Structure 1
């Protein structure tokens, strides 16, 4: 039985991951979010914690006894503070394995016109997510950072991985694909440890995502 706590449990990708977790009798999920009432209908399927992801003490309560932390956090103005609190809480709770969702472009790894468009569109968002990712990388935790390309709601699992230092040319990937990879890591927690993985759908190279 693997115990996993989902931080930012009401997020779009997180809710797809949770469907995988709820269907798996070998996983015991816990959900952490700012407003627990949003997940009231899941109280029979998971332990629910309410709190702020910038509050290490509140996070620690949710992390105690867990095997894996999956952090689906966001917000340009809070992401670095959330990373700091998450690392502190995990160390206090003696949990080592973290799956951290970041964003595309934090290492300036997107070449060409797509890279220029991505920088212009995301702006300071990239800078703040890069700070947070660096904090996770330097934490001493067993991390996997995930850098999805621009996400769609397509009902498909189709992705390819790239490692830190490799260019990302794919412009999009489905949220379901990202969720499937996260679930795979939860089931195979020794895979891609201490790696930062880019995720994109093969064959979607271009100057920007197809819907822009």
Structure 2
């Protein structure tokens, strides 16, 4: 599979690029820095620029958006995601997986105890960005999946995780290692049953 990762220079995106390459996929990473795990194809540029994103997704079988916020740039995630959606529509690329955050949409109910309220208050600005981002995804007409992790850590991966829709039985925990989230996202890319779903993910 040819996978393009938008924002894969570090964090979850870099972990996903490494895992996907190890699994035999052809991986391209687009980022401002041009950094990526060894052996992965890289493109350097602004992921909110339509022409740059169009070149990155051309020929891809699937696209993953893992961008974070940018200092001094309001709603960076939403801007990048909108550019990605438009590029995919123009290029005829269907499969899209987007990293959002638990607390976006109606997902704060999945957090244990008082964490739901704390998250909505403490992360109001990033969640507003994620909500706008999610709207771009759900209205895209593409084969999308939203992934909403709990708190991300750099702890050693456990090799297991929980992925639940809102309303599913059970609660998510407060964190998940980035490597486990990346493994979850790689699995989701080839799981058609996740299309059109928003999944909260934790350890």
Corresponding residue SS for 1:74:
coil
Is 1:200 paired with 2:202? yes
Greater Rg by CA: 1
In the superposition, the TM-score normalised over structure 1's length comes to: 0.85
Corresponding residue SS for 1:61:
helix
Following TM superposition, by how much is the alpha carbon of 1:168 offset from its aligned partner in structure 2, in angstroms? 4.8
What is the rounded CA distance, in whole Å, between the counterparts of 1:84 and 1:151 in structure 2? 24
Following TM superposition, by how much is the alpha carbon of 1:84 offset from its aligned partner in structure 2, in angstroms? 1.1
Q: 1:165 to 1:53 in 2, by over 3 A?
A: farther
Tell which deviates more after alignment, 63-72 or 154-163. 154-163
What is the rounded CA distance, in whole Å, between the counterparts of 1:118 and 1:69 in structure 2? 28
Tell which deviates more after alignment, 133-142 or 118-127. 118-127
Aligned to 2:147: 146
> 8 Å contact 2:8–2:29 — kept in the other structure?
yes
What is the rounded CA distance, in whole Å, between the counterparts of 1:191 and 1:108 in structure 2? 21
What is the rounded CA distance, in whole Å, between the counterparts of 1:180 and 1:90 in structure 2? 23
Following TM superposition, by how much is the alpha carbon of 1:9 offset from its aligned partner in structure 2, in angstroms? 1.2
Aligned to 1:206: none
Where in structure 1 are there 5+ consecutive unaligned residues?
202-212
Q: Tell me how many residue pairs correspond in the alignment.
A: 194
Runs (4+) off by over 3 Å: 164-169
> 8 Å contact 1:6–1:32 — kept in the other structure?
yes
What is the rounded CA distance, in whole Å, between the counterparts of 1:125 and 1:118 in structure 2? 10
